[in-house]
Amino acid sequence: MSKKQHTDPAHQNKSHEGIVSSVDAVAAEHIKQQRLKKPEADELIHELCKGNQVALSRAITFIESTSVKHKVIARHIIEGCLPFANQSIRIGITGVPGVGKSTFIESFGKLLISKGKKVAVLTVDPSSTLSGGSILGDKTRMEELVKEENAFIRPSASGNSLGGVARKTRESIILCEAAGFDVILIETVGVGQSETAVHSMTDFFLLLKLAGAGDELQGIKRGIMEMADVIVINKADGENLKAAKQAKVEFQRALHLFPAKESGWTPKTATCSALKNEGIEAIWEIVSDYITLTKNNEFFDHKRNEQNKFWLHQTIEEQLKTDFYTHPKIKKELPKILRDIETHKTTPFEAAKKLFSLFTKK
C-alpha cells in the first residue's frame, strides 16, 4: 500500500555514515506515528505470552505483512517476545513432495501432545506463492492435530525470496516460543534451498524418505542426507514394510560414509508409518536422545549461537541488497551502466565500483 511512498526517504537519514537503511528511516518515521498504536501491540504481546493463539496468529500476520506500518509493529512485538523465547526444541522435517511430511507431523504432533507438550507447526515453502500453497493439503492431512488445543498450525509464510520466507519463519518461531510452545516443527519440501534454510534454524533435522526409490528419484541430494540427524523411511506398512526395513539398513550403511558430526551425534535411521501411527514413539526417543546428548556436551547452545550469527550476516546481506537496489541514485544509474556494459564502454568491476561510490556518497 504505502510501500511506494516509503522507498525513497532513505537518503533523508543522515545519521548513518554512508550506507543508509531505508527500513530504519521509515521505521523511525513510523514509530512516531505509531505511538498511539503501541498499547495495542503491548496488549498483543501480553495476550500472546499468556498462550492466546488468536494473539499469536495476529502477531504472525504482522510479521508476514509487507506494509511498513505493520513491520514497525512486528519489530516491537518481536522485541517484547524475545525475553520469553528460546525455550523449545526446534525440529526441521523435510522430504520430497508426497513422502508424508504432513501426515507424519499429524501423528508425531499428536504423540507429543499426549506427552503434555505444546506443539507449533510452521512451514517453509517458498514455492507456495506460485502454486497457491499446500494449505488445503496440510489442513486435511493434519485434521486431528488442528483440533488440539495445544497445537498451533501455521501454513506457509509467503514471499518472493527464500530469505524473506526464512526470516518470517525464524521470527514466527520466537513468537511461538513466547506463547509457550515447547516443540516447534518446521516442514519444508525437499527440493530446493529451503532445507538449508530450515537446517540453519532448527536443533534437529529429520529427513523422511521412501523405500524403493533411488536417490535421484527421491530428488534428495547428498548434502541434505549429510544434514540429517535421523533418516526415517516412511510408509513402512502393508506391502512396503519389507522394502522399508531393507532401505533402513542401506541408509544406515550410507550414513557411515559421512564424516563424524560436530555434535558428537551419530545419525540414526528408523522406519515408520505416519498413516498407521506406527514407529512414531521410537522417533521421539531418538530426538530426545539427541537433545540430551547435545545439551550435555553444550553443542545445543553452541549451534543456536552459530545460527544466530549466521542469520545476522544473512539479514545484513539482504538489507544491504535491498538498500542498494532501492537507492534512488542506483535506480537511476543502473540501467545506463547496464547499457554501458553491453556496449563494452565499461567493465563489470569498474561499473560496480562506480555504483558503490554513488551509493555510499553522502
Ligand X SMILES: Nc1nc2c(ncn2[C@@H]2O[C@H](COP(=O)(O)OP(=O)(O)OP(=O)(O)O)[C@@H](O)[C@H]2O)c(=O)[nH]1
Other CB atoms within 10 A of residue 305 CB: 10
The one-character DSSP state at 162 is H
Interaction between residue 101 and Mg ion (CB under 5 A): yes
Cβ-based nearer residue to ligand X, 6 or 209? 209
**Cα–Cα distance between 164 and 175 in angstroms, integer?**
17
Smallest separation (angstroms) from ligand X to the CB of 249: 19
Smallest separation (angstroms) from ligand X to the CB of 271: 10
**Given 94, 102, 234, 269, the residue binding Mg ion (CB under 5 A):** 102
Interaction between residue 281 and ligand X (CB under 6 A): no
Chain centre to alpha carbon of residue 207: 16
What sections of 237-347 are H helices per DSSP?
A: 241-256, 280-296, 299-326, 328-342
DSSP-assigned beta bridge partners for residue 230? 206, 268
**Given 273, 294, 322, 327, the residue binding ligand X (CB under 6 A):** 273
Interaction between residue 95 and ligand X (CB under 6 A): yes
- 173 with 81: CB under 8 angstroms? no
| Bridge pairing between strands 204-210 and 230-234 | parallel
**How far apart, in Å, are the Cα atoms of 30 and each of 68, 72, 187, 244?**
8, 7, 34, 56
Cβ-based nearer residue to Mg ion, 140 or 360? 140
**Cα–Cα distance between 42 and 277 in angstroms, integer?**
41
Which among 93-101, 217-225, 289-297, 350-358 is the span making contact with Mg ion, rule CB under 5 A?
Answer: 93-101
Smallest separation (angstroms) from Mg ion to the CB of 245: 25
Q: Report 222-251 residues binding ligand X (CB under 6 A).
A: 234-235, 237
* H or E element that contains 228: none
Q: Considering only CA atoms, which of 92, 98, 85, 81 is closest in space to residue 46?
A: 81
Smallest separation (angstroms) from Mg ion to the CB of 315: 28
Q: Report 170-189 residues binding ligand X (CB under 6 A).
A: 189
Smallest separation (angstroms) from ligand X to the CB of 218: 12
Q: Considering only CA atoms, which of 228, 242, 240, 156 is closest in space to residue 196?
A: 228
User: What are 35's three cell numbers?
Assistant: 505511538
Chain centre to alpha carbon of residue 251: 27
Which among 70-78, 95-103, 204-212, 312-320 is the span making contact with Mg ion, rule CB under 5 A?
Answer: 95-103
**Cα–Cα distance between 18 and 361 in angstroms, integer?**
6
Which among 94-102, 165-173, 190-198, 269-277 is the span making contact with Mg ion, rule CB under 5 A?
Answer: 94-102
Q: Sign of torsion, CA 327 328 331 337?
A: negative
Residues 120-159, one symbol each (x = binds ligand X by CB under 6 A, - = not), give --------------x--x---x------------------
Residues in contact with ligand X, counted by CB under 6 A, come to a total of 18
Instruction: Please give the residue whose beta carbon sits closest to Mg ion in the complex.
Output: 102
**Given 22, 102, 194, 269, the residue binding ligand X (CB under 6 A):** 102
Smallest separation (angstroms) from Mg ion to the CB of 104: 9
Residues 185-224, one symbol each (x = binds ligand X by CB under 6 A, - = not), give ----x-----------------------------------
User: What are 208's three cell numbers?
Assistant: 523422511
Q: Which positions touch ligand X (CB under 6 A)?
A: 95, 97-103, 134, 137, 141, 189, 234-235, 237, 273-275
Q: Which positions touch Mg ion (CB under 5 A)?
A: 101-102
